[in-house]
Amino acid sequence: MADDDHSELPTVLVLRRCPFIALLEPKCSQKFNLLKAWDSPLPQDQFLTTHARSVQALLSSGNGPPITAQILQFLPSLKLVVTNSTGLDHVDLAECRRRGIAVANAAKVFAEDVADTAVGLFIDVMRKVSASNRYVRGGLWACRGDYPLGSKIGGKKVGIVGLGSIGLEVAMRLEAFGCSVSYNSRSKKPSLSYQFYSNVCELAADSDALIICCGLTEETHHMINKEVLSALGREGVIVNVGRGAIIDEKEMVECLVGGEIGGAGLDVFENEPNVPKELFSLDNVVLSPHQAIVTHEAFVDLGELVTGNLEAFFSNKPLLSPAVIN
């Protein structure tokens, strides 16, 4: 077979170009025929119809176009969706289940990096790292004197919302700082000693900070609302490394501007890349452009996992990181 002949390779559909696809392509293209929708002059529906029978696997990006029922109906031969994200809110899981389409995600690949970012944001807000950096760079130290006091990390009661792989990594890091950890999750985890709260509002009321690590679902959409934020209180800090829409962003902004909570560290937002402008002037808010997963090491590991999932599928072997879609 000629080097540029991909006709005998399994076909994997990719709907949109993204940095991850560019990173993955050199290795993936040796084993799979990457069918790039963006290279075609055809409208997407016509392109999908043209290739409907040949596409058994689809490679999706968490920040790419959602995998909707409308897209899936054009692909009757599709049997696998592989996404480069841990979250699955961009995939119509109910439709995948109905059509017998398996889904593989990034599993634990990003857990350590996201946990590092979550704890980093927490420390930044509490110790005013970014704010005091601006203070020094603005020449204010010399003319205004010492910067206001920050808050100690050790001894703080931190509630983690979502104690999956990321939440557990966050908890271990916080324990090392001497924090008291409690959590809210879909169910209590008997093997763990952390205090469990079935009600997130009660968790907030008994915490100095909330760190959001859960996925976005119908149940968690706007779960962190005015009631929860009020329970967190005027000194309370919220950190979000999950998904933006888990927090009712409008209500959070109102609480921050009105001094009803103590601060926020945010890596995710409801309408990315649009961030509420009211947050820009608040020194008790630290903002990050959804980059908790962005490390070279994590993307290398992700490439191995994605390639491994596709190889397993086309070899009729178990997927390496099957997502639970029940």
Per-residue pLDDT tens over the stretch 132-191? 999 999 999 999 999 999 999 999 999 999 999 999 999 999 999 999 999 999 999 999
The CATH number of the domain holding residue 184 is 3.40.50.720
Regarding whether 124 and 237 lie in a shared domain, the answer is yes
**What phi, psi does 105 have (nearest 5°)?**
-125, -170
Over 50: is that where the pLDDT of 2 sits?
A: no
Over 50: is that where the pLDDT of 274 sits?
A: yes
- Beta-bridged to residue 274, according to DSSP, are 271
Distance CA 245, CA 166 (A): 18
Over 50: is that where the pLDDT of 281 sits?
A: yes
Q: Is residue 319 part of a domain?
A: no
Q: Domain containing 141: what range?
A: 111-287
Residue 226 vs residues 89, 139, 149, 159: alpha-carbon distances, Å: 23, 37, 27, 17
Q: Is residue 1 part of a domain?
A: no
pLDDT of residue 26: 84
Residue 23 vs residues 20, 243, 289: alpha-carbon distances, Å: 5, 24, 20
Name the band, by pLDDT with cuts 50, 70 and 90, for residue 1: very low
> How many domains is the chain partitioned into structurally?
2
| Angle, CA 320 vertex, CA 102 and CA 326 arms, to 5° | 35
Q: Is residue 207 part of a domain?
A: yes
pLDDT of residue 67: 96
Q: Is residue 241 part of a domain?
A: yes
pLDDT of residue 231: 98
The interaxial angle of helices 129-137 and 111-127, nearest 10 deg, is 60
Q: Is residue 5 part of a domain?
A: no
Regarding whether 167 and 219 lie in a shared domain, the answer is yes
Per-residue pLDDT tens over the stretch 203-213? 999 999 999 99
pLDDT of residue 177: 98
pLDDT of residue 57: 98
Q: What is the full DSSP assignment across 276-316?
A: -GGGTT-TTEEE--S-TT--HHHHHHHHHHHHHHHHHHHTT
Burial of 311 (0-12, 13-18, 19+ CB in 10 A): middle
Q: Enter the pTM of the model.
A: 0.91
Query: What average pLDDT does range 225-239 have in this prediction?
Result: 98
Regarding whether 142 and 115 lie in a shared domain, the answer is yes
* Percentage of residues in the chain having pLDDT higher than 90: 87
Regarding whether 18 and 132 lie in a shared domain, the answer is no
Per-residue pLDDT tens over the stretch 36-84? 999 999 999 999 999 999 999 999 988 778 999 999 999 999 999 999 9
| Comparison of pLDDT for 247 and 16, the residue scoring more | 247
Per-residue pLDDT tens over the stretch 293-321? 989 999 889 999 999 999 999 999 999 99
Q: Which positions are catalytic?
A: 243, 272, 290
Regarding whether 48 and 37 lie in a shared domain, the answer is yes
